[in-house]
Amino acid sequence: MKKFHLILSLLLFSVLFSLGFTVNQDPINKDKPVSKPELILKFYKDLHYPYDAVLPQDVNERILNDLKNFPAENDRAVNSWYVKGPLGMKIYNTMNSYYSGRVLEIEVDNGVSTRLAAASGGLWGFVLIFPVALSDNLNTLVVSAFDTKPGDGNTIFVGTGEYGIRIGTGLWRTTNGGTNWTNVPLSPTPYFFFKVKYDPVNSNIIHIATSAGYYKSTNGGTSFTRYLSGFTTDIAVNPSDNQIMYTSV
């Protein structure tokens, strides 16, 4: 009799455990096809658990504060090419080489200095040959696209979030060379940015290619309007006639 009660108790526990596990799982409709953006969104929800796909600002700031403690490194020459930096973490399983991450965009003709966007390292500029971080006060280091206003090296627009890697925190603007950053609202908010580009004819016009479509501002970036939906990965504007544009979707 005792053995019967023991077996019954174990069976009851197993059933309750199974029900509890099932309730906590996301329901999946096998008959409904899942789009790639939905899969990406679910991936980041799982990655950022217990938060949502987009991490809260205080969490981003806490991560950023931890990264500020990483040591800086000096430049070094390599054959006829030389490293401008910044150098990142030392990777011991690759013969003590230094890893700085992916560079997604380089700007060399802004009247100030060379600038570059790193996928996991933020926005950088240079004073002479020395790298200078421009996005330490930004709440994310995932800078995927940027552009400097022609004739004004202190005004920069930055798009955050690299497709398939890490969701960003939107579009940001600085008017003092990176000392302070202001979020620029877009509707709907893109998770990833591919291109931020000032118009070659009129610097009050700014073009943005994102995972949510193509956006355009005609008032210097105060507000943006979406003109095209879908994954817009690049934008090119005719330098002689800015009414002629090319994009890839």
pLDDT interval class at 2 (50, 70, 90): very low
CATH number at residue 57: 2.130.10.10
Residue ranges with strand state E in 128-205: 130-133, 143-148, 156-160, 171-174, 182-184, 193-198
pLDDT value of residue 43: 84
60 Cβ contact partners less than 8 Å away, ≥ 6 residues apart: 139, 140, 169
Domain assignment present for residue 60? The answer is yes
Q: What pLDDT, on a 0 to 100 scale, did the predictor assign at position 15? A: 40
Q: Which residues contact 157 (CB under 8 A, 6 or more apart)?
A: 146, 147, 149, 171, 172, 173, 184, 196, 206, 208, 221
Q: Is 57 inside any structural domain?
A: yes
Q: Which of 91-105, 107-121, 232-246 has the lowest mean pLDDT?
A: 91-105
The answer to the question of residue 131 being in a domain is: yes
Q: Which residue has the tokens 């877009």?
A: 186
* More confident site: 18 or 229: 229
Helix (H, G, I), strand (E, B) or coil at 110: coil
Q: Is residue 13 part of a domain?
A: no
pLDDT of residue 86: 65
Per-residue DSSP letter, 156: E
In percent, how much of the chain has pLDDT > 70? 72
pLDDT, tens digit, 9 for 90 and up, residues 213-222: 999 999 999 9
pLDDT at 110: 66
2 in a structural domain: no
Lowest mean pLDDT among 57-61, 193-197, 228-232, 245-249: 57-61
Give me the pLDDT at residue 92, please: 55
Q: Is 21 a domain residue?
A: no
Asked whether the CA dihedral 167, 101, 143, 134 is positive or negative, the reply is: positive
- List, for residues 17-44, the tens digit of each pLDDT value: 444 444 444 455 555 666 667 788 888 8
**Please, which residues have CB within 8 angstroms of residue 107's CB and are 6 or more apart in sequence?**
114, 115, 116, 146, 147, 148
Torsions phi, psi for 114 (to 5 deg): -65, 135
Instruction: List the beta strands (DSSP E) in 74-150.
Output: 77-78, 81-82, 89-91, 97-99, 103-107, 115-118, 122-127, 130-133, 143-148
| Contact between 166 and 120 (Cβ < 8 Å) | yes
Print the domain residue range for 153: 34-69+101-248
9 vs 166 pLDDT, higher one: 166
Quick one: which H or E segment has residue 45? helix 36-47
Summarize pLDDT for 43-99 with one digit per residue, the tens. Answer: 888 888 888 888 888 888 888 787 777 655 554 445 667 677 666 666 555 555 556
Give the range among 2-11, 32-41, 88-97, 224-233 with minimum mean pLDDT: 2-11
Q: How far is CA 188 from each of CA 36, 77, 171, 230, rounded to the nearest angstrom? A: 18, 45, 12, 11
Residue 4 domain-assigned?
no
Does residue 203 belong to any structural domain of this protein? yes
In the chain, the number of structural domains is: 1
Q: For residues 47-64, b (16+ Cβ closer than 10 Å) or e, as one string?
A: ebeeeebbbeeeebeeeb
Buried b (16+ CB within 10 A) or exposed e, 78-92: eeeeeeebbbbeeee
Instruction: Give per-residue pLDDT as tens, 173-208.
Output: 999 999 999 999 999 989 999 999 999 999 999 999
- Residue 232 is predicted with a pLDDT of 92
pLDDT for residue 131: 84
Average model confidence (pLDDT) across the chain: 79
Decide: 169 and 160 in contact? Cβ < 8 Å: yes
